[in-house]
Amino acid sequence: MHYDLDTLDDYLRGELDATRDADVHAHLETCKACRAAYDEAASVRDWIRAAAAAEEREFPSLVKAHVWEAIRSAPPSRLAWLRSGWRPWLAVPVAAALAFAAYIEVPGIHGGSPAGIAAADLFIEHAAQMADNPLADHGVVVRASTLDANDSAAPLIEAVDMTSVNDPSGGGR
């Protein structure tokens, strides 16, 4: 089995996935015909790169200096002149507004407390009231033994109040 030129070209450019790349590499180690085609493609690639590098030209240093001098000495446009003049007039009020907003919004800066009610305190207070009330409904507990995991169309599951089941006086069921 020999690889076609497209596969060898993809291998040369590194465009094959890791498995396919390893297969082609192992094949090139043993097959002289495919290795010769690969070497030819590599030499053509190197020749094209060398020709492209030789075609690249750089500005002569004198021309480059004149271009940079023209750029530096060009007068600014009216828009650039206005922007540079208004920058301090605009930046200072914006910075002051941001500082004032930060002062108002962050209570730690001026020692104030945040507005609102802490929800955790309400939950703790509610739990304390529920624990003190003997007539409170403490929730419904469903026994695990009443659940049938295999029955997908289970009717209503009867809920059992655990306080009446665990009552030692026998007042429950």
- Can you tell me whether residue 166 is helix, strand or coil? coil
Q: In the prediction, which pLDDT does 110 show?
A: 59
Average model confidence (pLDDT) across the chain: 74
Determine the Cα–Cα distance for residues 121 and 60; give it in Å rounded to an integer: 77
Cα–Cα distance measured from residue 38 to residue 7, given in angstroms and rounded to the nearest whole number: 10
Share of the chain above pLDDT 70, in %: 66
Q: What confidence score (pLDDT) does residue 129 get?
A: 74
Is the pLDDT assigned to residue 78 strictly greater than 60?
yes
For helices 32-55 and 18-30, angle between their N-to-C axes, nearest 10 degrees: 110
User: Rounded mean pLDDT of 17-21?
Assistant: 93
